[in-house]
């Protein structure tokens, strides 16, 4: 019996191998790779809208009064109770046992209200402090008050603002801009631009982008720059390709590096330096104040000090700390911060694309106590 199983396994492997060879020959030996695949950070919100859209149709459900309509809808492989409210709604208490609530206007939720169902709002949403809800998709903008907790996810088609000490267990996403105040925690953030308040980053996004483009052009020319005004530095390090260091690498303040850096140990870049390229380190990477990196950064642990900038994306196989005024990604298709550990954002910062962390994302130390 064992012998027959072994022969069968060998035959199956041989059949798969032969079929693979035939397919390869039919396609000219090429293996197709989908390089355009991307992650839809707003998948859950779009799915909820699609599931709940039938409640907007005329004749759905049983009207109760002039604004409320109640009915059932198959949501989680079974029929569940769903409610529709036509117009603007102000909730000061909500104890109905529902799977979902749809509001066609704006929604205001008072302080301390617990909503134990999914929400789809066609207008804007304003949530008070110390509230809790399961999931929210809004076709307008969303503002969450202090210490509110989202048990799953929240999505705004326009702007999403997370107040002090807001917790989003899964994903917070926005179609235009996501703004976080101090003390927020979560797992994943996604928006074209993510800003951490209370103040705007001290770096000017447009002027930094102009400076970044200038250094990229200098690197492409691979010639000494014509103007010291552009470099603001007497230290220049120009190489045709990249530099690889087997040990720790320290780059002094005010240095301009016109190539990539590959470091098999730790890297420290001194203040006011420019790396016109990308960085890869096998250990820690520390970018001093006002450092500009035009490309991407990949490292084991990352510290970005105040007003430092990475023009591309950042991948960290560990923990990351972003100082005040830091910028990551100067366009939505070139940014993003992915961290396998935790992320601490110590002050105001801005990131284009998405921020994801395996453990937690924290903004500052939370609300300051009076006195």
Residue 219: both structure tokens together: 């690197």
- Cβ 277 vs Cβ 261: under 8 Å: yes
CA distances from 229 to 210, 225, 336, 341 (A): 14, 10, 31, 40
Of 315, 299, 311, residue with least CA distance to 261: 299
Residue 277: both structure tokens together: 């390229």
- Measured in residues, the chain has a length of 371
In DSSP terms, 177 is beta-bridged to 159, 193
**Residue 24: left (phi > 0), alpha (psi -120 to 50), or beta?**
alpha
Burial class for 146, CB neighbours closer than 10 Å (0-12, 13-18, 19+): middle
Count the neighbouring beta carbons within 10 Å of the beta carbon of residue 56.
14
Cα angle 207, 212, 218 (rounded to 5 degrees) comes to 130
Asked whether the bond before 136 is cis by omega within 30 degrees of 0, the reply is: no
Cα angle 161, 163, 168 (rounded to 5 degrees) comes to 80
Parts of the chain with a pLDDT under 70: 1-38, 198-205, 222-234, 240, 331-333, 365-371
Q: How many helices and strands (H and E) does the chain possess? A: 4, 32
- The residue ranges of every structural domain in the chain are 44-175, 205-363
How far, in whole angstroms, is CA 100 from its chain's centroid? Answer: 26
pTM of the complete model: 0.76
What is the rounded distance in angstroms from the CA atom of residue 347 to the CA atom of residue 115? 32
Q: Give the tens place of pLDDT for each residue, 4-45.
A: 655 665 565 555 555 544 444 444 444 443 434 457 888 999
Q: Give the tens place of pLDDT for each residue, 331-367.
A: 656 778 999 999 999 888 888 888 888 888 888 754 4
Of 2, 6, 348, residue with least CA distance to 202: 348
SS (H, E, C) 269-325: ECCCCEECCCEEECCEEEECCCCEECCCEEECEEEECCCCEECCCEEECCCEEECCC
């Amino acid at each position: 019996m064992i012998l027959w199983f072994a022969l069968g396994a060998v035959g199956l492997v041989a059949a798969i191998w032969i079929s693979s060879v035939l397919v390869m020959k039919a396609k000219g030996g090429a293996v197709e790779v989908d390089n355009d695949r991307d992650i839809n950070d707003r998948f859950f919100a779009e799915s909820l809208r699609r599931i709940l859209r039938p409640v907007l149709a005329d004749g759905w459900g049983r009207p109760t009064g002039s604004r409320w309509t109640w009915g059932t809808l198959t949501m989680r492989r079974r029929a569940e109770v769903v409610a529709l409210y036509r117009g603007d709604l102000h909730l000061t208490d909500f104890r109905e046992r529902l799977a979902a609530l749809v509001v066609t206007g704006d929604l205001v939720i008072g302080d301390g209200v617990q909503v134990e169902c999914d929400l789809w709002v066609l207008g804007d949403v304003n949530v008070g402090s110390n509230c809790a809800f399961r999931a929210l998709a809004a076709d307008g903008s969303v503002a969450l008050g202090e210490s509110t907790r989202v048990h799953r996810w929240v999505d705004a088609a326009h702007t999403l603002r997370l107040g002090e000490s807001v917790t989003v267990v899964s994903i917070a996403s926005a179609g235009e801009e996501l703004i976080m105040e101090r003390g927020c925690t979560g797992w994943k953030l996604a928006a074209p631009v993510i800003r951490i308040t209370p103040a705007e980053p001290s770096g000017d996004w447009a002027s930094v982008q102009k400076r970044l483009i200038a250094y990229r052009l200098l690197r492409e020319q691979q010639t000494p720059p014509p103007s010291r005004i552009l470099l603001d530095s007497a230290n220049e390090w120009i190489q045709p390709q990249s530099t690889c260091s087997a040990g720790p690498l320290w780059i002094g303040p005010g240095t301009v590096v016109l190539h990539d850096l590959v470091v098999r140990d730790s890297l420290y870049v001194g203040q006011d330096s420019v790396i016109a390229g990308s960085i890869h380190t096998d250990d820690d990477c520390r970018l001093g104040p006002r450092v500009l990196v035009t490309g991407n950064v990949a490292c084991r642990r990352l510290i970005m000090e105040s007003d430092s900038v990475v023009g591309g994306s950042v991948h960290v196989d560990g923990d990351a700390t972003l100082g005040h005024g830091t910028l990551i990604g100067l366009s939505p298709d070139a940014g993003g911060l992915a961290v396998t550990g935790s992320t601490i954002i110590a002050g105001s910062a801005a990131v284009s694309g998405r921020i994801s962390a395996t453990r937690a994302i924290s903004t500052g130390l939370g609300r300051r106590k009076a006195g």
